Amino acid sequence: MSYCDAKPKEHLEYNQLLEEFILGCKTTQSIGMEYERIPIVKVTNQVAPYSGDYGICELLREFAKNDNWDYILDDINIIGLKKIHDTITLEPGCQIELSLEPQEFIRDLKKRVEEIDNNLQPILDEFGIKLINKGVSPTTTYKNIKLIPKRRYHLMANYLWGILSDVMMRETAGIQVGIDYKSEEDAMKKFRIVNLMMPFSTAMFANSRYRGGVDTGYKSFRALSWLNTDNERCGFATKFQDGMSFRDYVERLLDTPMIFINRDNRTVNVNGRLTFRQFMEKGFERFEAEIEDWQLHSNLYFPEVRLRNFIEIRNHDCVGDGLEYSIPALYKGIMYNPSALDEVNSMLVKYSYNEINELRYNVARYAINSKLRKFPISGICKELVEIAYYSLKNQFENEEKFLEPVMEMLKKNKVPADI
* pLDDT score at 7: 47
The correct answer on CATH 3.30.1780.10 for the domain covering 14-36+141-256+301-418 is no
CA atoms within 13 A on the CB side of 178: 19
Which segments in the chain show pLDDT lower than 70? 1-9
Closest C-alpha to 326, from 193, 201, 172: 201
* pLDDT score at 252: 95
Q: Which contacts qualify for 61-67: CB closer than 8 Å, 24 or more apart?
A: 62/123, 62/126, 62/127, 63/88, 63/119, 63/120, 63/123, 66/119, 66/123, 67/119, 67/120
As a residue count, the chain comes to 419
* pLDDT score at 1: 39
* pLDDT score at 8: 54
Give dist(CA 399, CA 389) in Å, integer: 8
351 burial via Cβ count (<10 Å: 0-12, 13-18, 19+):
middle
Give dist(CA 368, CA 381) in Å, integer: 7
* pLDDT score at 265: 85
* pLDDT score at 348: 97
* pLDDT score at 378: 98
Question: What predicted TM-score, i.e. pTM, was given to this entire model?
Answer: 0.96
* pLDDT score at 251: 96
* pLDDT score at 9: 64
Give dist(CA 46, CA 221) in Å, integer: 18
Enumerate the domain spans of the chain.
14-36+141-256+301-418
* pLDDT score at 372: 98
